[in-house]
Structure 1
Amino acid sequence: MTAETDLIKLYSTRILALAADIPGTERLESPGATVKKRSPLCGSTVTVDLTMQDGRVAAFGQDVKACALGQAAASVVGSAIVGCTPHQITEARDALRAMLKHDGPTPPAPFQELEVLRPAQAYKNRHASIMLALEASAEAAEQAQQQQSA
């Protein structure tokens, strides 16, 4: 397979569709936590706002400035995160990292659609951008949970 064919496979129709339709792109007025993550390699950034209620994400907003792969990941996160516990988000983050780096299993529900990014395993320079939405969300959920407990 040529490098061009590999790239065409990587930027599948599904990845491009996810990237074009990112839910939760409205920032929250009064978030319980806000976390911004940046990939130093490519400059992609994701800023996440969220609020927690009864130990679960109640509201979510994000500002995504990333490549199509980072946008696709943010799209899946935005679709799945409301109602999740901080543990579920951390578990999904760790599973996504393992899937990209070690061909690990698909992240668990409700984040299983991140499987669409499995072809990016071979593109290590894209991993950081793909991880941004879940990394920011995991940190924000933890911060918001701590704020509620204080």
Structure 2
Amino acid sequence: MSTDTDLIKLYSGQILALASDIPHLTRLDTPMATVRKRSPLCGSSVTVDLSVEDGRISAFGQDVKACALGQAAAAVTGGAVLGRNLEEIENARDALRAMLKDNGPVPAAPFDGFQVLEPARDYKNRHASILLSIEATAEAMAQALQSDCA
């Protein structure tokens, strides 16, 4: 059982700073793909819009309605996604999930900013919110690439 002190540590200054400065917090007017993800447990949601050029994310926007942890994760995602290909996004998603759920290592650069969320490992009820942005990004990119090939 966590204590109030543990929760205070969880919401560190770094997390709160990220949550207050989320990159690409404007939806795109004409995205190639849009995906909305919602955590049924806490009600957090993230909508991601993106476009792809030459197999890489060329434009990105997101609407984030989440707790500070979900917002911090969206900030890390938003700061790292431009220019990334699907494999890089999926690797970051899988590494973040492993970091949280399996005590795995921090995702590799440029997604190493997720390190700030390591203390959330012990709070399984927060994992879904943390994963929303990167999961929505991976799904939207797969959709954009599929429609680009059609």
TM-score of the superposed pair, with normalisation by structure 1: 0.98
**CA–CA distance in structure 2, aligned partners of residues 149 and 53 of structure 1:** 12
| More deviation, 4-13/131-140 | 4-13
SS in structure 2 of the partner of residue 83 of structure 1: coil
Offset of residue 139 of structure 1: 0.1
**CA–CA distance in structure 2, aligned partners of residues 84 and 47 of structure 1:** 18
String of CA shifts for 1:42-88, please: whole Å, max 9, x gaps. 00000000000000000000000000000000000011000000110
**CA–CA distance in structure 2, aligned partners of residues 98 and 7 of structure 1:** 22
Q: Which stretches in structure 2 are left out of the alignment for 5+ residues?
A: none
Question: Aligned runs of 1:7-26 on 2, under 5 Å?
Answer: 7-26=7-26
Question: Aligned runs of 1:107-126 on 2, under 5 Å?
Answer: 107-126=107-126
Q: Which runs of 4+ in 1 moved over 4 A?
A: none
Amino acid at match of 2:144: A
The answer for the alignment partner of 1:35 in structure 2 is: 35
RMSD between aligned residues: 0.7
Offset of residue 4 of structure 1: 1.3
The answer for the alignment partner of 2:96 in structure 1 is: 96
**CA–CA distance in structure 2, aligned partners of residues 108 and 148 of structure 1:** 28
SS in structure 2 of the partner of residue 95 of structure 1: helix
Q: How many residues align?
A: 149
Amino acid at match of 2:120: A
Percent identical among aligned pairs is 65
TM-score of the superposed pair, with normalisation by structure 2: 0.98
The answer for the alignment partner of 2:138 in structure 1 is: 138
String of CA shifts for 1:89-135, please: whole Å, max 9, x gaps. 11000000000011101111111100100000000000000000000
**CA–CA distance in structure 2, aligned partners of residues 148 and 7 of structure 1:** 44
**CA–CA distance in structure 2, aligned partners of residues 149 and 58 of structure 1:** 16
The answer for the alignment partner of 2:44 in structure 1 is: 44
The answer for the alignment partner of 1:67 in structure 2 is: 67
| More deviation, 107-116/61-70 | 107-116
Q: Which stretches in structure 1 are left out of the alignment for 5+ residues?
A: none
